[in-house]
Amino acid sequence: MDTRSFGEYLVLVACALLLLILMIPALGHARRESRDGIQRENLAHVKRMLEDENNKLGYYPASFSATPYGYYVTMKEGKKALGWYVRAPIENPQVPGTYYDAEEGHNFHYRYVQEDGKIFYEICGGEYSC
């Protein structure tokens, strides 16, 4: 192998390593975003289960098993939850904010909250504003 071809080989290897170094963080972000998407979908499923309970009982229950996610009642009246939210931790950084969705006569707010260095995705309902 002459010097010229060896130099070309080194340039090729350096370019390949540079591409690999640039791709690794992007792949990590994509994996975390995939896991976050699963968390958001699971939380939406819990919200649908709460809606089923509301359709059966005529109100949101004050106690509800949302395991492994948290179900928090913000306002209640006896067995009725007047305000509630469900929460799941996510990995990718998000800008804290609240997003509104009116669905079948119910008001829902989707929000990203940062507490103690952790990021949570929350769906809240029952109140006009959470």
Instruction: Work out the pLDDT band at 54, boundaries 50, 70, 90.
Output: confident
Domain hosting residue 71, numbered range:
3-125
Is 7 contained in some domain?
yes
Helix (H, G, I), strand (E, B) or coil at 21: helix
Query: What global pTM score does this model have?
Result: 0.74
Q: From residue 88, how far is each of 114, 118, 120, 124 by CA, in Å? A: 12, 11, 6, 12
Mean local confidence (pLDDT), 102-129: 81
Mean local confidence (pLDDT), 75-98: 88
Is 130 contained in some domain?
no
Residue with tokens 């996510």: 90
Structurally, the chain folds into a number of domains equal to: 1
